[in-house]
Structure 1
Amino acid sequence: MCSRPRTPYGRSTAKGWPGNVGATRVVFLGGLGRSGSTVIERVLGELPGYCAGGELTHLWQWGILDDERCGCGEAFSGCSFWAEVGRRAFGASGWSDAVAARMLRLRAQVDRMRYLPQLMAPTAAQVRAPALAAYLDGYSALYAAIADVSGARIVVDSSKHASMAFCLRHHGNDLDVRLVHLVRDSRGVAYSWTKEMVRPQASTANTMMTRYSPIRSALMWDADNTSLAILGRLGTPRLLVRYEDFVADPRRQVHRITSFAGQPVDGADLDFLGTGHAQLTRQHTIAGNPMRFQTGRIDLRRDDAWRSRLPRRQQRVISALTAPLLSRYGYPMRVAR
């Protein structure tokens, strides 16, 4: 669980950054958005030895430049946790516009789905170095600072993007990255992307979350899940977790994830998890589903609204587009309302 800042530490400096890094273990939650990553990350963030950072890919724009709200409720610039992380990672100036601009520029050069063929190859570091190396140095510094400030052994990053996961594959010795591949029924994901949702963390009122058509969601679902499966075959440690299985038996899935992460928990660590609910505290997360601001008793239940609210024709189209992976992940082609 994320805690108060600790005293400065003395790890070696990453190339190109003034901050300090060392070998840091990261649980990267991968998968298409609307697959339950926010609630799963928040549950993991309640565990001893774990710190949930949120969707860290968005820290540079939405945190530093846009000053959106942290999961604790404070603006990013006013959050003492992130202020200390910035100083530890990037030196006395901390979160500067220059740091954000550099990471966004590097992301555009290496962290895109169109670069996946190159990132899959063993020579990727040669093809896109030094941009890839500099990009990874930035994240190594960030992850190490989060671990040190929080006192956690495991940093949970729910960025989800397959392209970022492929970049992290080339981390060298600075990081120990383990991929938790989150999957949800493609029809439920597609329906969720059609809903209008306000982004409560935005600094501008009435800012809405992105929406996608069901067909686009289905194609993205195929692309992301196929890519993450390939990443596992290339050697990145990978654990498949279905959203539906997590909400049905969160304790069992937490045991699976934490054992995979190398930081298992015991029964006493899970007292906050009940049957169908969790007792959640405030956490310092960047971006994510609006529920990241909720504290107290949170219901854990399947959201199957798509069965009755997603038109049958759209259900059939999505089922056809995602059929091979639906079957592989154990989802039925035909569903009852």
Structure 2
Amino acid sequence: MVAVSARVLFVGGLGRSGSTLLELILAQHPDVCAVGEVVHLWERALGGDERCGCGERFTACDFWQRVGEHAFGGWSAVDRAEVLALKDAVDRTRHIPRLARAELPAAQLDEVRRYADLYTRIYAAAMAVTGARLVVDSSKHASTAFALRWADDLDLRVLHLVRDSRAVAYSWAKQVRRPEVVDAEAYMPTFSPFTVSKLWTAQNAAFHLLATRAPVVRLRYEDFTADPRGTVARLRRFAGLPDDPEALRVLDPSPAPLRRAHSIAGNPLRFNAGPLRVRQDDAWRTALPSRSRVVVSAATLPLRLRYGYVGLGRPGSTEAP
């Protein structure tokens, strides 16, 4: 078992909100280790031997094999079926009301902590292998974050990443290939505008509840793209890292060669070898069908108002929960 205390910045929210880009930018400094969406490791990496963000399959990636050795004495020691059963019992949106309680019955607490301990071991092992001071996990699922708040020996910081629901709906309607799948042609799921509206509202509302239980900072994707340097500096401070001009060098007009992250799952952007470009990406304003726009606008109106997506919006790139 790994004895090192772990510090993690957990990126939460609904997918297609820019988490992969933000994670990769943060990981360009050696004191940050980005591991992608660890919540999918059990199915996609251990089960499917999919490609890591470095380009190698999980079983051929030296980083992940060393992490498995540090954390568990090797991945062969992990009972995947047992982990998946534990995940189903703990890490589901329907369990959030229970995970949000101030106290849990002893049997439930033991179950949640056994599940959270799996992640803590992985985070601590990643720090030990790389020498990083912070691990970024972009799993995004609110239920995972709620489970992690019960972990022993975990310094949990949560970034609640929000993007305009209409932009998210437009992105989830597109068919996107999953290049990490080697032996078949696989695509990310697509969702209807109404389904996206429900998911967007549920996930974001859950992080408002989590903010009453754990350290959470909120960031709008649109504000990140408007001020990437300021955003990176503020997030490093939130995560307990020192200011360092080297952390911003990736945003220079002529950046240093990109450091590939050993990320599990996420946007195909993580396989790009070229420079990271931060841009607004507002194609949805003209490409999202009018009917879809009306459905999403109406269904997500309360939180769009709260986040400043109605009218002129609110200044500032982060806001307190």
Give the TM-score band, short-chain normalised: over 0.9
Q: Confirm whether residue 292 of structure 1 aligns to residue 270 of structure 2.
A: yes
The counterpart of 1:304, out of the listed 277, 282, 299, is 282
Q: Which residue of 2 aligns with 1:254?
A: 232
Any idea what SS the aligned residue of 1:130 has? helix
After TM superposition, give the deviation of residue 167 of structure 1 in Å: 0.4
Instruction: Quote the residue 1:3 is aligned against.
Output: none
Structure 2 Cα separation of the partners of residues 176 and 48 of structure 1: 19
* C-alpha RMSD of the superposition: 1.9
Counterpart-to-counterpart distance in 1, 2:182 and 2:196 = 27
Question: Could you tell me which amino acid in structure 2 is paired with residue 27 of structure 1?
Answer: L
**Matching residue within 110, 114, 128 for 1:134:** 114
Residue pairs, 1:14-53, within 5 angstroms: 19-53=1-35
Residue of structure 1 in register with 2:318 after alignment: none
Q: Distance in 2 between the 1:37 and 1:316 partners? A: 26
> Equivalents in 1 of 2:285, 2:148: separation in Å?
36
1:276 positional shift: 11
Corresponding residue SS for 1:227: helix
Q: Distance in 2 between matches of 1:265 and 1:215?
A: 42
Q: How many residues align?
A: 313
Match of 2:81 in 1: 101
Unpaired runs of 5+ residues, structure 2, are 314-321
Contact 2:29 2:246 in 1 (8 A): no
The answer as to whether partners of 1:65 and 1:97 remain within 8 angstroms in 2 is: no
Q: Equivalent residue for 1:68? A: 50
In the other structure, the counterpart of 1:118 is 98
Question: 1:298, 1:87 → 2: CA distance?
Answer: 32
Q: Distance in 2 between matches of 1:304 and 1:231?
A: 29
**Contact 1:67/1:77 (CA < 8 Å) preserved in 2?**
yes
Q: Are positions 1:243 and 2:242 aligned together? A: no
How many angstroms apart in 1 are the aligned matches of 2:8 and 2:25? 16
- 1:102-251 matches, within 5 Å, as 102-124=82-104, 126=106, 128-172=108-152, 174-234=153-213, 236-251=214-229
Distance in 2 (alpha carbons) for counterparts of 1:334 and 1:269: 31
Q: Residues 63-121 of structure 1: CA distance to partner in whole angstroms, max 9, x if unpaired?
A: 11110000010000000110000000001xx1127432222111011000011111111
Deviation at 1:298, TM superposition (A): 2.5
Give the alignment's TM-score, normalised by structure 2: 0.93
Secondary structure of the structure 2 residue equivalent to 1:233: coil
Q: 1:130 to 1:314 in 2, by over 3 A?
A: same
Partner Cα distance (2:242, 2:139) in 1: 23
Q: Give 2:235's aligned amino acid.
A: I
1 or 2 for the larger relative contact order (CA 8 Å, sep ≥6)? Answer: 2
Partner Cα separation in structure 2 for residue 216 and residue 125 of structure 1 = 34
Whether 2:71 is the aligned partner of 1:89: answer yes
Paired-residue identity, %:
48
Unaligned runs of 5+ in 1: 1-18
Displacement after TM superposition at 1:205 (Å):
2.6
Aligned runs of 1:308-319 on 2, under 5 Å? 308-319=286-297
